[in-house]
């Protein structure tokens, strides 16, 4: 990358290139995943960042973590721009790819749910970068400006616009992971039994569900709105399946169910408000399930 103020002599303390990158990797993984909402895309960015890091003159980098943050952010912004162009041909809703919490080591972004990542799809790539760097990592505006090649005031305006775009009239509550798990298993049990009244009791009247099959698996192509429609949809989907199995997964920021209807898997996550389900995300696209499915053996059986 071009010379910048990160490139001045500094003592390395005997650390190798690999040591420096490994030390920063959990933070960089959280950054890339927040920016992209896709673990596979994040891995691609981390690999490219490592290749660039491997050829830099290490003794000329004053702050390795800052340098790597710059590289990962710029690569992710470029990837987002490319993805936006591809999104025009995507079949149905696009949902983030779930990533298990253990991929981030001790740097697990605790509040990074699929609901948050889905909401951030409203932002432009640069707005998203400013929002993540400022909100999640509390990076000063002058440093964000340096990373993105913008002025500090421009970055402040981008942050304000991002907050406006993400504003939601619904009050948001963050349930504990145990509360998330209880609602997930209650929801699945009610749907599996076909008990529509029990399902309706778990759903808020204005609840909405998004499904993502990406044209590769069966999924509703448009959001489903309303308690009654959702109760009928999930009641039929789960109760009519000849075989049903599910395990609880620990994702980055939330609990989820990996459900198998026969041999067909999907990941189910719930967004809640004051103990009721307000949002449902149903991911069936096999391209986005491989990482979560690989954790199925270590997941907990759902409480029927």
Residue 6 has pLDDT above 60, yes or no: no
Residue 10 has a pLDDT of 42
Q: Is 184 in the same domain as 104?
A: no
Q: Is 33 in the same domain as 102?
A: yes
Q: Are 291 and 39 in contact (CB under 8 A)?
A: yes
Domain end call among 136, 166, 196: 166
Residue 205 has a pLDDT of 95
CA distance 299 to 249: 5
Share of the chain above pLDDT 90, in %: 51
CA distance 89 to 60: 44
Number of domains within the chain:
2
Confidence of residue 303 (pLDDT cuts 50, 70, 90): low
Least confident of 7-11, 166-170, 265-269: 7-11
Residue 8 has a pLDDT of 40
Q: Is 240 in the same domain as 126?
A: no
On whether residue 75 sits in a domain, the answer given is yes
- What CATH number is attached to the domain comprising 93? 1.20.140.160
More confident residue, 292 or 183: 183
Residue 171 has pLDDT above 50, yes or no: no
Q: Is 31 in the same domain as 161?
A: yes
- Whole-number mean pLDDT of the chain? 86
Least confident of 39-43, 54-58, 115-119, 163-167: 54-58
On whether residue 171 sits in a domain, the answer given is no
Residue 176 has a pLDDT of 81
Residue 276 pairs with which residues in a beta bridge? Answer: 273
More confident residue, 1 or 39: 39
Confidence of residue 106 (pLDDT cuts 50, 70, 90): low
The total number of residues written for the chain in this structure? 304
Q: Is 98 in the same domain as 131?
A: yes
pTM value is: 0.86
Which range marks the domain in which residue 273 is found?
177-301
The whole-angstrom distance between residue 162's C-alpha and the CA centroid of its chain comes to: 17
Residue 218 has a pLDDT of 85
Q: Are 133 and 152 in contact (CB under 8 A)?
A: no
On whether residue 4 sits in a domain, the answer given is no
On whether residue 276 sits in a domain, the answer given is yes
Residue 46 has pLDDT above 60, yes or no: yes
pLDDT digits (tens, 9 = 90+) for 145-162: 999 999 999 999 999 999
Q: Is 148 in the same domain as 183?
A: no
On whether residue 172 sits in a domain, the answer given is no
Residue 7 has pLDDT above 70, yes or no: no
On whether residue 1 sits in a domain, the answer given is no
Residue 293 has pLDDT above 60, yes or no: yes
Residue 141 has a pLDDT of 96
Residue 217 has a pLDDT of 86
Residue 1 has a pLDDT of 39
Q: Is 291 in the same domain as 154?
A: no
Domain end call among 144, 166, 188: 166
Residue 143 has a pLDDT of 95
Q: Is 109 in the same domain as 188?
A: no
Residue 142 has pLDDT above 90, yes or no: yes
Q: Is 155 in the same domain as 223?
A: no
Share of the chain above pLDDT 70, in %: 88
Residue 195 has a pLDDT of 92
On whether residue 83 sits in a domain, the answer given is yes
Residue 91 has a pLDDT of 83
Q: Is 32 in the same domain as 162?
A: yes
Q: Is 159 in the same domain as 243?
A: no
Q: Please, which residues have CB within 8 angstroms of residue 23's CB and are 6 or more apart in sequence?
A: 15, 65
On whether residue 240 sits in a domain, the answer given is yes
Least confident of 35-44, 91-100, 122-131: 91-100
Domain end call among 166, 200, 234: 166
- What CATH number is attached to the domain comprising 244? 3.10.450.50
Q: Is 151 in the same domain as 214?
A: no
CA distance 118 to 76: 16
pLDDT digits (tens, 9 = 90+) for 78-94: 999 988 877 777 888 89
């Amino acid at each position: 990358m071009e010379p910048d103020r990160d490139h001045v002599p500094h003592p390395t303390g005997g650390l190798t290139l690999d040591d420096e990158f490994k030390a920063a990797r959990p933070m960089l993984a959280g950054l890339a995943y927040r920016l992209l909402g896709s673990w596979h895309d994040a891995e691609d960015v981390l690999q490219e960042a490592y290749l660039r890091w491997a050829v830099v003159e290490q003794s000329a980098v004053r702050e390795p973590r800052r340098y790597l943050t710059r590289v990962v952010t710029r690569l992710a912004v470029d990837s987002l721009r490319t993805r936006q162009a591809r999104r025009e041909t995507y079949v149905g809703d696009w949902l983030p790819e779930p990533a298990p919490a253990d991929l981030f080591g001790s740097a697990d972004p605790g509040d990074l749910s699929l609901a948050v990542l889905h909401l951030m799809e409203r932002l432009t790539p640069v707005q998203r970068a400013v929002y993540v760097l400022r909100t999640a990592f509390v990076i000063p505006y002058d440093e964000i400006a340096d990373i993105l090649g913008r002025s500090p005031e421009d970055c402040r305006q981008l942050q304000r616009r991002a907050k406006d775009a993400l504003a939601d009239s619904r009050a948001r509550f963050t349930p504990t992971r145990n509360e998330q798990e209880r609602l997930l298993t209650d929801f699945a049990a009610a749907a599996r039994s076909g008990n529509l009244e029990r399902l309706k009791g778990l759903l808020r009247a204005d609840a909405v569900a998004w499904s993502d099959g990406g044209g590769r698996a069966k999924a509703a192509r448009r959001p489903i709105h309303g308690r009654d429609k959702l109760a009928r949809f999930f009641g039929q989907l789960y109760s009519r399946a000849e075989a049903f199995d599910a395990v609880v997964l620990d994702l980055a920021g939330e609990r989820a169910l990996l459900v198998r209807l026969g041999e067909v898997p999907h990941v189910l996550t719930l967004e809640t408000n004051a103990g009721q389900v307000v949002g449902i995300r149903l991911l069936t696209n096999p391209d986005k399930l491989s990482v979560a499915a690989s954790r199925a053996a270590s997941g907990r059986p759902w409480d029927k």
